Amino acid sequence: MRYFSQIADEVIALFTPYPFYAVVDAYERWYDVDDEEVLQILNNLKNYIKNDKNKKNDA
């Protein structure tokens, strides 16, 4: 909550299941993402941004 208090005046939880244990409980499908998958996603994003900038410069 400390983080949110720095960026928002108010936080409203629309739904909190009872008993509430973890965010994962709100998802129908959840899987852990390993480091390799995260690095691949970040690399893909880096390439996408690079290609997008090149397209804008060519226009």
Q: Token pair of 41, please? A: 């996603």
Note if the pTM is more than 0.95: no
Distance of CA 2 to the CA centre of its chain: 19
Residue 7 has a pLDDT of 92
Residue 23 and residue 15 in contact, taking contact as beta carbons nearer than 8 Å: no
C-alpha to C-alpha distances, 27 to 18, 24, 31, nearest whole angstrom: 15, 6, 10
Closest CA to 49 of 59, 35, 57: 57
Q: Give average pLDDT by consecutive 10-residue segment, the chain, 59 residues.
A: 86 83 87 94 93 77
